[in-house]
Structure 1
């Protein structure tokens, strides 16, 4: 009788146990489970979530955001405008917010790019480009209050929460990890944040409590990726 075929061995990234949890305080552990890529790819991804550049040519086009920003500004309405180097945002109950680019060739370089209007959480999304790396910022459409994020927000279907997932496990200019925010009421509230050795790319909501995302990990000189599931709301 011929020997039975061996069971297929899962890829190495699925056998690294330290990628399977996020430790919460006090003493709560969130389990991370493998998920099916076909399910993940059917979930909606926000239009403002753009992939990071992977080459010098893409990096140059990424930094020259003026053409794409003009299209976004044309759709944003009269309360969002650009005047020269100044991005101007006008809240309904607060003074105008003026964000001014500083195109110098040193660590003081900064550029503010208007990305999107998010009516579900009553915020404007701005990408802040620094000399090395950058971050995202929400500006409240009512008060003008500014909130710094590690990555673009991905809003839950009911609009009560959003997550921010970032991955920079190769260059490490920016923190890798995950944030969970509450968008209920009149202000945003950071519920928890974890900076991790692995990266969280393109999180998508499966339902109002669960996200799927691509988990990146630097291993043996390269970045490997798997699709995983995480319940972020108890």
Structure 2
């Protein structure tokens, strides 16, 4: 014989609330890049230890860790003197003028203007990039700025939103910038190709989120710190993006 069932106490069972994913996974705008013709680039979370094992070029400055460190970055004249000391005779400064001497074109002269208004401009020599046969400059404006490549053969100028980070095979480079707080400069990403040494922009996208210090995982994929503005502050996560098909 089966034992008699005992009456169950009359206890109301409340349904559990649906699981709430972490906030970052609810921000769908961070998971795709604006459509490139014919396709959408998807962005995936990545492991920070993997990102930190990847190399970053010396000319890509890290985020300042403190206000004091950020102030020290403003003395770019001292930094330029250090860089020019290793540049050789084809790159030098005399007063306000930066001289660059291409091998197959007239000398390029870039003159600083220290005006206290929107006409203010200063050209800072950063590095010679033998992999792509370019000089890299940082251009400082009254508010914000940009980066400039000067071809070491032809003197051709190419404006970038950020310093280039070159793929291991030397066929592409990316530029990623982040200014989601002040918005003096565009935030986003550029992909460039190097066809027979010629620099060519394949695509660029300005975004609501920032791309800080992109690093190549392989010849097609980058990892970077994705900065986004949330609840009055800037937050960051490490992500992975395949930029070359």
**Which band: TM-score by shorter chain?**
over 0.9
| SS of aligned partner of 2:137 | strand
Compute the TM-score of the two structures, normalised by the length of structure 2: 0.88
**CA-CA distance at 1:64 after TM superposition:** 1.8
Note the 1:191-230 alignment, pairs <5 A. Answer: 191-230=202-241
CA distance in 1, matches of 2:218, 2:120: 40
| SS of aligned partner of 1:223 | strand
Q: Structure 2 residue aligned with 1:112, among 110, 120, 123?
A: 123
CA distance in 2, matches of 1:100, 1:59: 25
Task: Answer yes or no: is the 8 Å Cα contact 1:23–1:30 preserved in 2.
Answer: yes
**CA-CA distance at 1:45 after TM superposition:** 0.5
Note the 1:10-49 alignment, pairs <5 A. Answer: 11-49=22-60
| SS of aligned partner of 1:18 | helix
Residue segments in structure 2 that go unaligned for 5+ positions in a row: 1-18
CA distance in 1, matches of 2:82, 2:182: 31
CA distance in 2, matches of 1:228, 1:58: 26
Task: Answer yes or no: is the 8 Å Cα contact 2:132–2:197 preserved in 1.
Answer: no
How big is the alpha-carbon RMSD for the aligned residues of Structure 1 and Structure 2? 1.6
Equivalent residue, structure 2, for 1:91: 102
**CA-CA distance at 1:70 after TM superposition:** 1.2
Q: 1:110 to 1:52 in 2, by over 3 A?
A: farther
Work out whether 1:178 is the aligned partner of 2:195: no
Task: Answer yes or no: is the 8 Å Cα contact 1:198–1:215 preserved in 2.
Answer: yes
Task: Answer yes or no: is the 8 Å Cα contact 2:167–2:173 preserved in 1.
Answer: yes
| SS of aligned partner of 1:68 | helix
Q: Structure 2 residue aligned with 1:155, among 166, 169, 173?
A: 166
More deviation, 55-64/178-187 = 55-64
| SS of aligned partner of 2:201 | strand
**CA-CA distance at 1:10 after TM superposition:** 5.8
CA distance in 2, matches of 1:60, 1:175: 22
CA distance in 2, matches of 1:59, 1:99: 26
Larger Rg over CA atoms: 2
**CA-CA distance at 1:78 after TM superposition:** 0.6
Task: Answer yes or no: is the 8 Å Cα contact 1:112–1:129 preserved in 2.
Answer: yes
Equivalent residue, structure 1, for 2:15: none
Equivalences, count: 227
Q: 1:102 to 1:15 in 2, by over 3 A?
A: same
CA distance in 2, matches of 1:164, 1:26: 19
Equivalent residue, structure 2, for 1:103: 114
Kindly provide the CA deviation profile for residues 24-70 of structure 1, in whole angstroms up to 9, marking residues without a partner as x: 34331011011000000000001011135576644543222122211
CA distance in 2, matches of 1:15, 1:144: 47
**CA-CA distance at 1:207 after TM superposition:** 0.4
